[in-house]
Structure 1
Amino acid sequence: MRAWQLEDFGLDNLRLVERPTPKPGPGEILVKVSAVSLNYRDKAIVDGVYNPEKMPQNLIPVNDTAGVVAELGPGVTEWKIGDRVLSHFYSHWLDGAPARDEPDWQLGGPLHGGLAEYMILEAKSAVPTPAHLTDEQASTLPIAALTAWFSLVEYGKLQPGQTVLVQGTGGVSLFAVQIATALGARVIVTSSSDEKLKKAAALGASDLINYRTTPDWAEKARELTGGEGVDQVIEVVAGDGLNQSVHATKAAGHISLVGFLGGQTAPLDVMSLLYSQAAIRGIAVGHRRAFLEMNEFIEKEGLQPVIDVVYSFEDAIKAYEHLARGAFGKIVIRVAD
């Protein structure tokens, strides 16, 4: 089979090669990959800034995979050949609290991912594809959509009429806008681009803040909520901006820390956090049970993932370069029709 493998850190070392097609072992399925989508994590792995000591040489990257079951390993009864399936990022986290070793079982690094014509999934971990979505659309769900759902619903317990502030217009953020809107929440979106803010409004955002022209966006969010602050923040930047998120959040509100675009450390104003009594919760995607519940919701509401562009399998490098430039929505790589 053809596969992209990371022979060393750096995009120049991501190379298209021929590798043996894997055989499914007991409890495993072989998936013929249709499409994958990229997350910021995928760029960070290639750049060597995401747990580099755990990434094996010649890794096949990218978790977010949609495809079709091509072969069943011994003992597999829950799937049949031809079923449409999605990868689940934390392949051993099925429900409940995460175990300490969950990062050891992440697909797309350190375990092989889906940027190949075939991949192996554990049968108990794979997830059915929502029937109303194409494989290209569905490939956007495993990390970006589930991160938004886990933040807002599983941990945040979002209720109709509450207010959510969403940072930026990347994959997680746009899913958060769609999910929160569908749940009856008021959504505030921040971005440096008025054009992207208008697109976010079309997805359901009711209030828009350009943080270039309004640097004190947290105070603006307070103004928009009568001085109270928002119920939840989807924090994708971290770094110095984490203190603004605390200021933007209402007393005893909830901040979901899902990204690290502004850095992997944050100089936190401890007194401000103490006085606000806000909860900062690290969100590392979610478990399979929540994935299944989210997909039911997505089907019921008829939600459509926002895709910026679809690249061919041969143009995977261009897809990564596009990711580095930024996008409105998800970047997808079509592997097979």
Structure 2
Amino acid sequence: MKTSQTYRLTAPSLESLQLFTETVPAIGSYEVLVRMRAASLNYKDNFYLAGAQGIQLPRPTVPLSDGAGEVVAVGEHVNRFAVGDSVAGNFVQDWLYGPLADHAANSSTTLGHGIDGTLTQYRVFNQEGLVALPRNLSYEEGATLPCAAVTAWNAVREVRPSQTVLILGTGGVALFAQQFASALGARTIVTSSSDAKLARAAAAGADHLINYQSDPDWHKKARELTGGKGVDHVIETVGPDTLERSILATRRDGTVHLVGLINPVGKIDPMLILGGTVTVRGVRVGSRQLFEEMNTFIERKGIHPIIGHRFDFSDARDAFAQQLKGPEFGKIVITF
């Protein structure tokens, strides 16, 4: 009987991340057994370690939504994958296309939340909950895609070469948005409070840089960089603290893509939206269809995710500790 080394979060604290030896379940007719090779962390994973103020899981849960691995067994009716294929799990397992289904809006079928995640040596998936990795990516790179990359792709996929995209910060979603927007031919403006991070963003292809600490009126600077017109798109990764300035940085009929809420509490003046004829759009990851579309784009453009920290499977707690501290630049990856 095959066993798997599996991490479970037994309570909302770093100390409660425990390693167990568990039996690998038998696969059903439409299921796939994946030998996980890498997993990655996201900002959202901080909330699972935040005690009474964080996200309370209903049971000891295998953490992390993002992971990639190799297919090692398939059920008799599986027709999407074969043994040896390189795959990643879809963030919301049964969100295949179209808008997010009502039943999934509470994250009941989200990896690492409603169902067990990817921080385990072996995991059984329904074949519909997997996508093939881009052929140009390693397992480590592929493990960074399901949450941050799909969110970024959902936000920028309609960007055109003549347009300008303002990207707030250099976190996981922001870096993918910068890479995708640049590959789509758009001009990018990146903000950060760190000149060192801005230099790395420039090395990754950013066209214009704004240090919002030394230039707190960064929205005005963004307008200056567009000849006063305003940017076409804003990748808004912060929330109420910056949303009004993001709207003010946006041209008429432009779009603010709200992809993150570092501070979920606050208010905005709706007249800024109405008067500026700006669309504010909430982005919540994306479907399997968008994931596969993005993977085709990544492969065609030769894009490689930016990895900032690598940890061994045995050092998973250290990876979470680094996420709580904040990655310096790039994704945090755990290799198995």
Question: Which residue, out of 99, 119, 123, partners 2:127?
Answer: 123
Moved more, 34-43 or 19-28: 19-28
- 1:245–1:183 distance in 2 versus 1, CA, 3 Å: same
Given residue 11 of structure 1, which amino acid in structure 2 is its aligned partner? L
Moved more, 75-84 or 60-69: 75-84
CA contact (8 A) 2:169 2:192 kept: yes
CA distance in 2, matches of 1:177, 1:49: 35
Match of 1:229 in 2: 230
Match of 2:195 in 1: 194
Match of 2:275 in 1: 275
Given residue 28 of structure 1, which amino acid in structure 2 is its aligned partner? E
What SS does the aligned partner of 1:19 have?
Answer: strand
Kindly report which structure 2 residues correspond to 1:1-337, keeping only aligned pairs within 5 A, or say none.
Answer: 1-47=4-50, 52=55, 55-102=57-104, 103-153=107-157, 157-261=158-262, 263-327=263-327, 328-335=329-336
Given residue 207 of structure 2, which amino acid in structure 1 is its aligned partner? S
CA distance in 1, matches of 2:52, 2:276: 32
Q: 1:287-333 CA distances to partner (integer Å, 9 max, x unpaired)? A: 11111111111111101110001100111111111112222110000
Shift of 1:172: 0.9
Given residue 68 of structure 2, which amino acid in structure 1 is its aligned partner? A
CA RMSD of aligned residues (A): 1.4
Shift of 1:3: 1.0
What SS does the aligned partner of 1:124 have?
Answer: helix
Q: 1:30-88 CA distances to partner (integer Å, 9 max, x unpaired)? A: 111000011111221232589835x2321001011100112223421221112111111
Shift of 1:26: 3.4
CA distance in 1, matches of 2:58, 2:114: 6
CA contact (8 A) 2:257 2:280 kept: yes
What SS does the aligned partner of 1:231 have?
Answer: strand
CA distance in 2, matches of 1:290, 1:109: 21
What TM-score do you get using the length of structure 2 for normalisation?
0.95
Given residue 288 of structure 1, which amino acid in structure 2 is its aligned partner? R
What TM-score do you get using the length of structure 1 for normalisation?
0.95
Shift of 1:125: 2.0
Runs of 4+ in 1 over 4 A off after TM superposition: 48-51
What SS does the aligned partner of 1:105 have?
Answer: coil
CA contact (8 A) 2:12 2:54 kept: no
Shift of 1:195: 0.7
What SS does the aligned partner of 1:23 have?
Answer: coil
What SS does the aligned partner of 2:191 have?
Answer: strand
What SS does the aligned partner of 2:118 have?
Answer: coil
Q: 1:261-294 CA distances to partner (integer Å, 9 max, x unpaired)? A: 1x11331111112111211111111111111111
Given residue 284 of structure 1, which amino acid in structure 2 is its aligned partner? R
- 1:226–1:49 distance in 2 versus 1, CA, 3 Å: farther
Structure 1 regions of 5+ residues with no counterpart? Answer: none
Q: 1:131-177 CA distances to partner (integer Å, 9 max, x unpaired)? A: 11110011111111111111011xxx211020001111111111111
Q: 1:76-126 CA distances to partner (integer Å, 9 max, x unpaired)? A: 122111211111101111111221122221111111001011112110120
Moved more, 99-108 or 303-312: 99-108
- 1:315–1:26 distance in 2 versus 1, CA, 3 Å: same
CA distance in 1, matches of 2:58, 2:75: 25
CA contact (8 A) 1:189 1:200 kept: yes
CA contact (8 A) 1:4 1:116 kept: yes
Shift of 1:242: 1.0
CA contact (8 A) 2:47 2:55 kept: no
